[in-house]
């Protein structure tokens, strides 16, 4: 583990080296003690399992997952570029933004064809590498057949990018992810 490169509500992301293959990775580690460990751990491991099954050029691949003591983690491709949030904040040409969002839309179409919603599409979860956009952070994704918010109907996702169905805490259809893409396009324009 080399250095901290990001932090979310339930995890930290480190730049690390996968020793067995001698390659740089982003190592996502579940924060301890913040949430009910059972539910958070289940979601965290579900993210690794679901994303590991997705093979798409615009989805950040998961290489490995595991547990060391009480520490749950997974290793994924390290994307050296900024997030789309960084680019939007500095200003991004519309044509370039549309190209990146076409990559994201392709990734979402693929995930949807596998029965998976992302549920938290936002610029911070879109990483840029060269001239390509990669979708990451499927932490809130669930298989469509189980797609209700939670047993407690807690709000999941980022309110700014949430579809009307998500805001009403209703079952989130595939179009919920596309609603978020539309909000991002509006921000870019």
* DSSP string computed for the chain: --EEEEE-SSEEEEEEEETTTTEEEEEEEEPSSSS-HHHHHHHHHHHHHHHHT---TTBPPEEEEEEETTEEEEEEEPP-S-BHHHHHHH---HHHHHHHHHHHHHHHHHHHHTTEE-S---GGGEEEETTEEEE---TT-EEGGG-SS-TT----S-GGG--HHHHTT----THHHHHHHHHHHHHH-
> Catalytic one among 22, 38, 89, 120?
120
120 in active site: yes
User: How many other C-beta atoms can be found within 10 angstroms of the C-beta atom of residue 19?
Assistant: 7
Is 175 within 8 Å of 163 (Cβ atoms)? yes
Return phi, psi of residue 71, to 5°: -95, 115
d(CA 25, CA 66): 14
Catalytic residues: 120
């Amino acid at each position: 583990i080399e250095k901290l490169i990001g932090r979310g509500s339930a995890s930290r992301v480190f730049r690390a080296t996968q020793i067995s293959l001698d390659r740089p990775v982003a190592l996502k580690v579940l924060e301890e003690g913040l949430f009910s460990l059972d539910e958070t751990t289940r979601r965290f491991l579900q993210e690794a399992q679901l994303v590991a099954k997705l093979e798409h050029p615009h989805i950040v691949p998961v290489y490995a997952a595991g547990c060391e003591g009480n520490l749950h983690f997974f290793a994924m491709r390290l994307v050296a570029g900024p997030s789309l949030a960084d680019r939007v904040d500095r200003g991004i040409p519309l044509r370039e933004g549309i190209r990146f969002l076409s990559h994201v839309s392709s990734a979402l179409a693929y995930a949807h064809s596998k029965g998976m919603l992302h549920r938290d599409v936002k610029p911070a979860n879109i990483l840029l590498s060269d001239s390509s956009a990669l979708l990451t952070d499927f932490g809130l994704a669930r298989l469509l057949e189980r797609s209700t918010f939670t047993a407690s109907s807690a709000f999941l996702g980022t309110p700014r990018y949430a579809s009307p169905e998500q805001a009403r805490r209703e079952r989130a259809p595939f179009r919920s992810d596309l609603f978020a893409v539309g909000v991002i396009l509006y921000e870019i324009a």
